Structure 1
């Protein structure tokens, strides 16, 4: 009996110690607590900035981070890249709140549609932390600057490209990453405004992919089943064009269906080379990250940069490939 009690006592201590160790480890991994965040700023660094994206596991945001890290290294700034691995609004908000509590010197983050998001950005500003939104704006907040694509203009360019590249009647299926995301809605509206003067171009419907390849495949397949006359697609997020291309090839509709997508993922470029995707909208996420850090530095120095700073946008087709060597032009969002 005494042996059993001693065994249970030792087991309890071991379980407690293991749990405590795991809590400390995973807590550190979740928020990447560093000496800088704890107030022990490296004397080599003038400021501590944090970049918080929609999701870390995303090629598009990796390019944003690359630009931001390059600018940070050039200017002697410490930059942390924190946030949810996969898109999660609660984790996004929690990371911003923890960055505020850590009294960082500047905050770069993607604007999101959430009733708690704007008050949280305002909280950062109230505590003296300047905020720059990247890729997607939060215009009703107290953020200092928005840096990113003019999403309406990007959609408008996509509509103009379809008009230039096609002849005769076109029935278009629009697949958008999200019905709620402001930047996705702007990309759709710009496209609709560009084609509205063309009676030969009709929009069959809009479907949502939830920014997943599986969602885009499902939506494209449904379009082909529901609209036999469909002969054109517009995808407003990077995986949409890829999903459309896969279904077009599977149903042997490639070559008879015009597809314009978004961004320049390697798979998208392969489909452009094959002729399954005819064109794609190019964004410049590296430029967004680089300008984001430089803009926060300007604010910290007491300057007042332009509140809206649009990065470059373009359309590429097969004859534009290969892309110009250098920093990657675009990726995913």
Structure 2
């Protein structure tokens, strides 16, 4: 198993203002513990000011108590691409907290949903055996519920991120409110469309077993259909081999749909395939909006082919989870949720919000990501 859970200084070669761990010196002289200090965040037009204020409030409350040791693990579906900024944020937060922690990818990612869930469940059990008091996890699916519930029964605090498992006994989910995210993206595209009638192609998912993807897709559908547009959904094909199929299907709709296609929207990291489809259909002027900040998406933004994208604040997903786990241990679950209340959409879900990045703001957004060390 590849372990990358290192202090921010070791992992990324940056100096942070971090706190020492422990509440007293070994002689019992009563030396006060150093306070937790966050690395400063430079103000930028994309800085999530309200989110930053909530994190500051959580740190302030933690600092009113004795600093305690804690062991935690953050488990991600992979350590690269979309998940790289999540790993960056988690490593930084654990460094600031001074906890014993690591960020890990899967033991072996096979691409088979069932096999990946089984592998992650084994990983959860092993982490608990090794003494973890907190687990942050991006679960592969419902097959992980039993292992997580078993961990909770043993006193381990669990926070999900990116993908929720509401049916489990996890304490809090940190990530995108997918229904509202889809609605936001739909409104972004709607502002670019000509008057109807028209058809909009959605690169999304209506798979009932993937609630997050379905919610996001239906959020976009709702906005566009309420405005009088017909929608056609192409289920995203996640493997690289499926790229040609995705592009060909969308190209065919652009060429044949009635009423004609007037725009495309991609709702996941492979959104750039929408721009590829307009290129293949020789309709490069069709408006396209996307999700995430895949390098290929960025290239199309620079070319003016993607008009805007929506970023899920992956860095903050990773950064918040260790602080929430530590808050639950030291302050208690209800006190922690009370501090997080400005972004809580219900009793257990924390909504990070979205960064909406216009196509002409790529450099400015890259500068923001660079300022927090979170460029993909």
TM-score after normalising by structure 2: 0.71
C-alpha deviation, 1:105, in angstroms:
1.4
Which structure would you say has the larger Rg? 1
Check if 1:315 corresponds to 2:356: yes
C-alpha deviation, 1:214, in angstroms:
4.2
Q: Give 1:78's aligned residue.
A: 100
Q: Which of 54, 60, 82 in structure 1 is aligned with 2:77? A: 54
Q: Give 1:108's aligned residue.
A: 136
C-alpha deviation, 1:162, in angstroms:
1.3
What secondary structure, in the 3-state scheme, does the structure 2 residue paired with 1:243 have?
Answer: helix
Q: Give 2:168's aligned residue.
A: 141
Q: 1:155 to 1:128 in 2, by over 3 A?
A: same
What secondary structure, in the 3-state scheme, does the structure 2 residue paired with 1:277 have?
Answer: coil
Check if 1:249 corresponds to 2:279: yes
Q: Give 1:326's aligned residue.
A: 368
Check if 1:230 corresponds to 2:261: yes
> Aligned ranges for residues 109-128 of structure 1 at < 5 Å?
109-114=137-142, 116-128=143-155
C-alpha deviation, 1:188, in angstroms:
0.4
C-alpha deviation, 1:47, in angstroms:
1.6
Return the alpha-carbon distance in structure 2 between the equivalents of residues 33 and 64 of structure 1. Answer: 12
Contact persistence 2:265–2:290 (CA under 8 A): yes
What secondary structure, in the 3-state scheme, does the structure 1 residue paired with 2:101 have?
Answer: strand
Return the alpha-carbon distance in structure 2 between the equivalents of residues 117 and 263 of structure 1. Answer: 26
Root-mean-square deviation over aligned CA pairs:
2.6
Contact persistence 1:285–1:331 (CA under 8 A): no
C-alpha deviation, 1:74, in angstroms:
0.7
Check if 1:219 corresponds to 2:257: no
Contact persistence 1:208–1:216 (CA under 8 A): no
Q: Which of 43, 66, 70 in structure 1 is aligned with 2:88? A: 66
C-alpha deviation, 1:78, in angstroms:
2.1
C-alpha deviation, 1:119, in angstroms:
1.8
Q: 1:178 to 1:68 in 2, by over 3 A?
A: farther
* Larger displacement relative to structure 2 (128-137 or 73-82): 73-82
Contact persistence 2:248–2:277 (CA under 8 A): yes
What secondary structure, in the 3-state scheme, does the structure 2 residue paired with 1:128 have?
Answer: coil
Check if 1:160 corresponds to 2:183: no
Q: Which of 299, 302, 307 in structure 1 is aligned with 2:328? A: 299
* Larger displacement relative to structure 2 (292-301 or 75-84): 75-84
Q: Which of 275, 291, 295 in structure 2 is aligned with 1:262? A: 291
Contact persistence 1:177–1:212 (CA under 8 A): no
Return the alpha-carbon distance in structure 1 between the equivalents of residues 186 and 252 of structure 2. Answer: 24
What secondary structure, in the 3-state scheme, does the structure 1 residue paired with 2:82 have?
Answer: helix
* Larger displacement relative to structure 2 (105-114 or 87-96): 87-96
Q: 1:60 to 1:331 in 2, by over 3 A?
A: farther
Contact persistence 2:292–2:310 (CA under 8 A): yes
What secondary structure, in the 3-state scheme, does the structure 1 residue paired with 2:363 have?
Answer: coil
Q: Which of 176, 181, 201 in structure 2 is aligned with 1:173? A: 201
Unaligned runs of 5+ in 2: 6-20, 23-67, 338-347
Contact persistence 1:136–1:182 (CA under 8 A): no
C-alpha deviation, 1:118, in angstroms:
1.5
What secondary structure, in the 3-state scheme, does the structure 2 residue paired with 1:136 have?
Answer: coil
What secondary structure, in the 3-state scheme, does the structure 1 residue paired with 2:216 have?
Answer: helix
Return the alpha-carbon distance in structure 1 between the equivalents of residues 314 and 308 of structure 2. Answer: 19
Unaligned runs of 5+ in 1: 1-29, 35-42
* Larger displacement relative to structure 2 (168-177 or 69-78): 168-177
